[in-house]
Amino acid sequence: MIPELGNFALALAVCLSLAQAIIGIWGAGRRDARMMAATPGLAIGQFIALAAAAGALVWAAVHDDFSVINIAENSSTLKPLLYKITGTWGNHEGSILLWGFILALCGAAVSLAGGNLPTALRSRVLGVLGGTSCGFLLFALLTSNPFLRTWPPTDEGSGMNPLLQDPGLAFHPPILYTGYVGFAVPFAFAVAALIEGRIDAAWGRWVRPWALVSWCFLTCGIALGSWWAYYELGWGGYWFWDPVENASLMPWLTGTALVHSAIVVEKRESLKIWTVLLAIGTFSFSLSGTFLVRSGILNSVHSFANDPARGIFILSLLALLIGGSLVLFALRAPKLSAGGMFAPISREGALILNNIFLCTICAVVVVGTMYPPFADLLLGQKISVGAPFFNATVLPLALPLFAAMAVGPLLPWKRARLWPVVQHAWWAALAAVVVSGFCIIGMKIIPALAFGLSTWIILGSFAEVVERTLLFRTPVASSVRRARGLPAAVLGAALAHAGVGVSIAGLAGSSLSSQTIVSAKVGQTVKADGYDVTLMQLRDENGPNYTSRVATLFVTRNGVPKMLLYPSRRFFTIQKQTTYDVAIHTNFLWDIYAVLGDEHDGQAVLRFHVNILAPWIWLGAGVMALGGAISLADRRLRVGAPARARLAVTA
Amino acid sequence: MNFDRRQLLALLPLGFAGAIGFSFWKMLDRMSAGKFDPHDIGSPLVGKKVPAFSLPGLDGGQGIDTATLTAAAAKQPMVVNFFASWCIPCAEEADILGTLGAEGIPLWGIVYEDKPDTAKKYLDKYGNPYQRLALDIEGRVAIDWGVDGVPETFIIDRSGTVRWHKSGPLTDDSVRQELRPALRSVA
């Protein structure tokens, strides 16, 4: 009964989203006040319907209703409760439902928080969101329905992919999808603006918080995925340039560009057409990223059910959405008023430089990811493009971007001179040179330079804060008072930029990491990068739905006991699949990372990594997202909305 | 209708997306017809002659080049294995290679992106089943062979043609079901 209600709720959501699309766009076109006033209600209704559908699926999973095909294929009675719930979005059908749910959440958020928008614009934005929603909910209902029944039901489900049974991955999809789907709102704003044929500074101000929220979630989502790959796959790496990873990186790159170019629209009423294109492009990459990986075109270690027939449906949908918005762009963009010219050395010039580099990196990633299937199709050649290509092409493009990002925020708008600005950041540059020089002793040149770059970015990012608070030049109390008066956006930007520096330090450190593979008998001690590792014991353990082989490693350094590590190998009985449970001991400066490999003739293969500064990679991403969140708190993002501003004061 | 530069520029993204979309449609179309499989990353070398290459031997030993390899294969089909000391799956397949080597199956090894001393340590530890060993320190020859990760194993027939290929470690199953039948078929 409950799954049928879920199915009904899903169908209802399709109807509501269709109504939202038609009434929203048509009503705004007719300037019909009643129709425009109805759209927010429809969006909220759609959200409630999808919440009910998602709730029904969770109910079926928690109650082990194996008459629902989706539950029978992906769950089992042995699964812990948490994974029964999170497992609902760990498969194709459920993840599409989650996708639609988050899109509806965005629509509801625009309805509730968009009170300060002009009615026609809000109506059109909701209309575009409704149309997008309608397409994907139809896809869920017709080709990927999670509520389909089977009869007779089985007694036991076949369980989910063991790799997904992990707390990190349980919450990875909702966060990543919120990032992906969130960019639907800037997309809807862009399409609505193209329909209206008008973009002004206010548009930039409305778009930016939505882009920023999505960007924060996407940053966290990508970092979480990379962290998961690091500790769960047991390969010791954190980024593999796998198509699925690249697919999440593309919207992140263009989204980062969008967050920056929207500032120029807001402050200088310039770069409008480009910003609109970025908004369309970012959501297009998000869509392609979520859906093309399921069509089976891209060869990836991340497996989703591949089905060319489903692929055709998705492709038609993408053609309609992306193609439609780009046709609108081609027709309307040339008619938008162009912005004024501006000097290359200025804040807006720096932001354009940022956009050029980010988009070039994105283009390189697109080429590298798409080349293998295209070469196969057009030239009949089987090739794979791997990490060496990406490292060789992305790195040289990222370096100037990193070098410039500390100075960019220091440049004044309109017209600036570089030299006085660099003088403001002299202490950061000095520190960077000192760190590089210090690191170059006993280190390879690239990591040494990377550490210098990281110092430059972290310190340089705060140069504006230091400058504006007159730190060290006035009494501390006065600086603190000035700091309080700083706009949150300035602090947020400094923090987000510093986060990049922290991540770079992590990447540089990781490139210095060591890896030792040894095979050892129980009781044997082996040497690994200055540590003495003793294999104390190998024992079997039983988990709820797996059996586990656990090694006890006793690690000493120069005779001083350091730690006990318990790497293990899990065998999931239902799926007959093995996963490696990495043992990681971290002190935030380096990770001791141990993997238990296969056993032959009483000898166990052990892999032992010392990953220098590895936690900083994800810590940096967290700092970036935090910076974005602080920037969101800036009340200037809500200027022009007196009602909202008063609310913010009383809150 | 005359297009000015702005209009043409605005059409650019549409044209770009259209081309990509059309290609994707072609791929999906051919995938459902079974004519296109992007997941089949079989070696492009299978069915082709051994590429031209020449590599120095390990530790002053005899190296491997196209001429010596094809000459040896003319007598008896050869197994060529790419491996590295830093590669865990290589260590995992070492036992199996040892068994093959002990049976007298001609097995030559190419050390991929590795240093001579670490390679020697690896061979001391896991055994050396190879009759001849060459060093591909920079991995250039591996590119010509289409190797995208170690271990990879090839079978060369009497005419010097690559007949079989496996990327990833050999397992008992894959040796029994694939490698041995492939060797028998070219014997």
pLDDT value for A303: 46
Q: Provide the 10 A C-beta neighbour count for residue A650.
A: 5
pLDDT value for A72: 87
Pairing of β B107-112 and β B132-136: parallel
Output the 3-class SS for B7-71.
HHHHHHHHHHHHHHHHHHHHHHHHHHCCCCCCCCCCCCCCCCECCCCEECEHHHCCCEEHHHHHH
* CB pairs < 8 Å spanning A and B: 101
Give the pLDDT confidence of A128-146 residue by residue, as tens digits. Answer: 999 999 999 999 999 889 9
pLDDT value for B13: 92
Contact B24/A315, CB-based, under 8 Å? Answer: yes
Residue A599: DSSP 8-state: E
Which residues of chain A are modeled with pLDDT < 70? Answer: 163, 236, 292, 295-309, 338-341, 382, 575-576, 635-651
Could you report the predicted ipTM of this complex, rounded to two decimals? 0.80
> A550: buried, middle or exposed (CB in 10 Å: 19+, 13-18, 0-12)?
middle
Flag whether residue A330 sits within 8 Å of chain B, measured between CB atoms.
Answer: yes
Collapsing DSSP to helix, strand or coil, A422 comes out as: helix
Domains of chain A: 1-160 (no CATH), 197-406 (no CATH), 515-615 (2.60.98)
Q: Provide the 10 A C-beta neighbour count for residue A15.
A: 15
Name chain B contacts of A326, Cβ cutoff 8 Å: 13-14, 17
- Does CATH number 3.40.30.10 belong to domain B54-186? yes
pLDDT value for A642: 39
Flag whether residue A296 sits within 8 Å of chain B, measured between CB atoms.
Answer: yes
Average pLDDT over residues B149-157: 87
Contact A296/B38, CB-based, under 8 Å? Answer: yes
Contact B24/A326, CB-based, under 8 Å? Answer: no
Name chain A contacts of B25, Cβ cutoff 8 Å: 312, 315
> Do A99 and A159 meet the contact criterion of CB atoms below 8 Å apart?
no
pLDDT value for A312: 80
Question: Which has more pLDDT, A184 or B35?
Answer: A184
Average pLDDT over residues B56-80: 88
Distance from CA of B127 to the nearest CA of A (A): 13
Contact A334/B10, CB-based, under 8 Å? Answer: yes
